[in-house]
Amino acid sequence: MARIGRIGLSWDPLREMEQLERDWSKLFSGFGRAAAVKYPPVNVFTSEEDVVVTSELPGVNPEDVDLTITGDVLTLKGTRRRQELGEGQTWHRRERGYGDFYRTIQLPYNVDSAKVEAKYNKGILRITLPRAEADKPRKISVKTA
Amino acid sequence: MAEVEKSREAKKQETPGNIITERIRTGRIYMPDVDISEDRDNLVLYADLPGAGDEDVSVTLENDVLTIEAKILPEKSDAHRLSHAEYGTGDYFRSFTINEPIDREKIEAKMKDGVLRIVLPKKEEAKPKQIKIHAG
């Protein structure tokens, strides 16, 4: 399993509930290599103030996506519905995947779950998670005695 | 739901360089996943183009070649650092040879939620005709 991003020693976004995800990805058909591939793919952007998670989810109804935050773990769960065939239609090619998906993402710090915003635009889900006030680094000024 | 299709790399695939000849823009080019269906009257193509809006996509049918292209600007933020990446952002390109005569005037293309849907109506002459058999 490739491990990519790391902040400090404690954060590894891929330290997820991998077995659980594998079980779920099996449900997501169209992707034969379920154990190796995660759906949907996510990118994580970080700053001192917030974390932005983006995910490519084209053609998904936002109502079919469930986001939850527990502590510093973001869970992304949902369904991509299959394109149904109409009367008299046949498939020539089927490459687009569909089915249920489930992902957990370990965030680098605790976030203020009341201020989390999620937007879906052009098939991309963008979740902005502001850092919890209590978790922000404090600057301590050093005074001379 | 547990229907498994043929094993396939699910990651966004880059278009092999030899397909594209003259390219001026730099950056990565991805090959969108597509579904194509057909019935008596139409060919319908769906392509996943996450990040693309109406204005970014161009669809052309020249001779028998249907080309889908989308130009995507990379997202940039000075305040943020990309700390974990599972997908890349770049343009999309893919072309198909269409073997059926298509009524070019009636082609429709629409973008919705990052999915392109193209309806290619077949020309009358290409539609299957029911031939009545008369009893002799």
Inter-residue contact A100 to B1 (CB < 8 Å): yes
Q: What is the pLDDT of residue B53?
A: 94
User: What token pair was written down for A68?
Assistant: 């939850």
User: Which residue's structure tokens are 């992304």?
Assistant: A76
* B81: nearest CB among A4, A33, A45: A45
DSSP A101: E
Query: Which one is predicted more confidently, B21 or A89?
Result: A89
Q: Contacts of residue A35 in chain B, CB cutoff 8 Å?
A: none
Q: What is the pLDDT of residue B92?
A: 96
With cut-offs at 50, 70 and 90, classify the pLDDT of residue A141: confident
Q: What is the pLDDT of residue A7?
A: 38
| Binary contact (B10, A30; C-beta < 8 A) | yes
Residue of B nearest to A59 (CA): B113
Residue of B nearest to A50 (CA): B80
Q: What is the pLDDT of residue B125?
A: 80
pLDDT above 80: residue A80: yes
Q: What is the pLDDT of residue B30?
A: 94
Q: Contacts of residue B5 in chain A, CB cutoff 8 Å?
A: 29-30, 32, 94
| Burial (CB count <10 Å: 0-12, 13-18, 19+), residue B59 | middle
CA nearest to B111, candidates B37, B56, B40 = B56
pLDDT by 10-residue block (mean), chain B, 136 residues: 41 68 71 94 95 95 93 83 91 93 94 96 82 81
Chain B neighbours among A 51-110 (CB < 8 Å)?
52, 54, 56-60, 83, 85-97, 99-100, 108
CA nearest to B44, candidates B82, B98, B85, B3 = B98
Chain B neighbours among A 16-55 (CB < 8 Å)?
26-27, 29-33, 37-39, 41-47, 49, 52, 54
Q: What is the pLDDT of residue A10?
A: 44
| Binary contact (B7, A33; C-beta < 8 A) | yes
CATH number of B27-74+89-123: 2.60.40.790
Query: Which one is predicted more confidently, B10 or A56?
Result: A56
**What 3 state SS string does A23-50 have?**
HHHHHCECCCCCCCCCCCCEEEEECCCE
| Binary contact (A90, B35; C-beta < 8 A) | no
Q: What is the mean pLDDT of residues A114-135?
A: 94
Q: What is the pLDDT of residue A68?
A: 95
Please, which residues bridge with residue A74 across strands?
A69, A105
Is A10's Cβ below 8 Å from some Cβ in B?
A: no
DSSP A22: H
Q: What is the pLDDT of residue B79?
A: 87
Average pLDDT, chain A: 80
| Binary contact (A122, B53; C-beta < 8 A) | yes
Q: How many CB atoms lie within 10 A of CB B47?
A: 28
ipTM exceeds 0.90, yes or no: no
Residue count (chain B): 136
Q: What is the pLDDT of residue B110?
A: 96
DSSP A102: E
pLDDT above 80: residue A31: no
* Structural domains of chain A in order of their starting residue, each with its CATH number: 18-83+96-132 (2.60.40.790)
Q: Contacts of residue B85 in chain A, CB cutoff 8 Å?
A: 4-5, 43-44
Residue-wise over A66-94: b if at least 16 C-beta within 10 A, else e? ebebeebebebebbbebbeeeeebeeeeb
| Binary contact (B35, A93; C-beta < 8 A) | yes
Residue of B nearest to A32 (CA): B7
Q: Which residue ranges make up each domain of chain B?
A: 27-74+89-123
Q: What is the pLDDT of residue B3?
A: 37
